[in-house]
Amino acid sequence: MTITPLNKDSILHAIEAFSTEMPINLHVLTEIDSTNQFLKQRPPSALIEVCCAETQTLGRGRRGNTWHSPYGENIYLSIRWKIPVATLLLSAMGLVVSLAILDAIHLIAPDVYIKWPNDLIWNMKKLSGILVEMITTVSGCQEVIIGVGLNVSTSASCEAWCSLYDITGKHYDRNKLIAHILISLNSHLNQFFQQGFGVFQARWQAADYLYQRAISLTQAHQTFNGIAQGVTTQGLLRLVDNAGIHHMFSSGDIHITAIDGQPRP
Ligand code: BTN
């Protein structure tokens, strides 16, 4: 496999080629503990702070998991974004981020779906994960750090994971992919902060991996079993439990309990 190294100029030129105005301060690193952690420690900035790295020594996943980050093979990318004060729909933001990534890779990998809230799934395997962390800066500004892990070239060593290489049999220039993702995130998040999640609901639901599937959702010490019924205009997951009671969730750990109905490949 020939690896094209990450390159700051290549990423910036690819963004310019789309004639997108995106005021970013881009940090391209060889090795870092975690790109999310790096951005947390950056001083306040008028620009969108972005960091990507060839490898992470302490890559973090959701629920305290480790994010395996082999050198040069995948995308480990974080973006620090200022949140408009009036935003009440933060739980929906991760859903919009997942849609932005899906849209950025759609031409390469059309059969990818989103498992609520924001995992990208192909053929029942995880392709990408997102870690959204809130910070309050010294000036009292609310900011969010969006961490994106996208498997590009690492070939699946177990049944739970996959990469773009596993899907297409091809290797991709990560610089171009990162540029696509940043452009897509910029337009999706600007629209989200102006108009909310409602404008994304239909498109998100078209990619909903869980729709009509039997799932269990665990929150703290409680588990709900039922059928997933899509998302609300606020991005909450709808679930009808086995007693017919309707629920809505803004968070939870999900497992598919039966593959009956097969709504998705
Ligand atoms: C998940 O568990 O699904 C979320 C994984 C998020 C991984 C990315 S890689 C770039 C950024 N830096 C981190 O330490 N984590 C996120």
Domain boundaries 206-258, corresponding CATH code: 2.30.30.100
Domain boundaries 8-196, corresponding CATH code: 3.30.930.10
Atom of ligand 1 nearest to the CA of 69: 9
Q: pLDDT class for 89, splitting at 50, 70, 90?
A: low
The enclosing H or E element of 110 equals none
**Of 9-13, 88-92, 166-170, 198-202, minimum mean pLDDT range:** 88-92
Atom of ligand 1 nearest to the CA of 35: 12
Q: pLDDT class for 171, splitting at 50, 70, 90?
A: very high
Atom of ligand 1 nearest to the CA of 62: 2
Q: Whose CA is nearest to atom 11 of ligand 1?
A: 147
Whether the per-residue pLDDT at 1 is higher than 50: the answer is yes
Query: Other C-beta atoms within 10 Å of 38: how many?
Result: 20
Average pLDDT (236-249) is: 96
Best probe residue, ligand 1, of 76, 126, 185 (max atoms within 8 Å of C-beta): 76
Q: What is the pLDDT of residue 15?
A: 94
Q: What is the overall mean pLDDT for the chain?
A: 92
Atom of ligand 1 nearest to the CA of 119: 3
- What is the tens place of the pLDDT at every residue in 70-83? 999 999 999 999 88
The DSSP annotation for 24-59 comes to EEEEEEEEES-HHHHHHTSPP-SSEEEEEEEEESS-
Peptide bond into 117 cis (omega under 30): yes
Ligand 1 geometric centre to CA of 252 (Å): 17
Residue type, 93: M
Residue 157: is it exposed, middle or buried by C-beta count within 10 angstroms (0-12/13-18/19+)? Answer: exposed
Residues ≥6 apart with Cβ < 8 Å to 151: 73, 74, 127, 128, 161, 162, 163, 164
> Domain boundaries in the chain?
8-196, 206-258
Ligand 1 geometric centre to CA of 240 (Å): 30
Whether the per-residue pLDDT at 249 is higher than 90: the answer is yes
| Residue 133: both structure tokens together | 């962390």
Whether the per-residue pLDDT at 137 is higher than 80: the answer is no
Ligand 1 geometric centre to CA of 241 (Å): 31
Q: Whose CA is nearest to atom 16 of ligand 1?
A: 147
Binding pocket residue ranges, ligand 1, CB within 6 Å: 34-36, 56, 59-62, 65, 67, 76-78, 119, 129-131, 147-149
**Of 43-57, 96-110, 170-184, 246-260, minimum mean pLDDT range:** 246-260
Whether the per-residue pLDDT at 262 is higher than 70: the answer is no
Whether 206-258 and 8-196 are alike in CATH topology: the answer is no
Q: What is the pLDDT of residue 265?
A: 47
Whether the per-residue pLDDT at 263 is higher than 50: the answer is no
- What is the tens place of the pLDDT at every residue in 150-166? 999 988 777 899 999 99
Average pLDDT (173-201) is: 95
Q: What is the pLDDT of residue 40?
A: 95
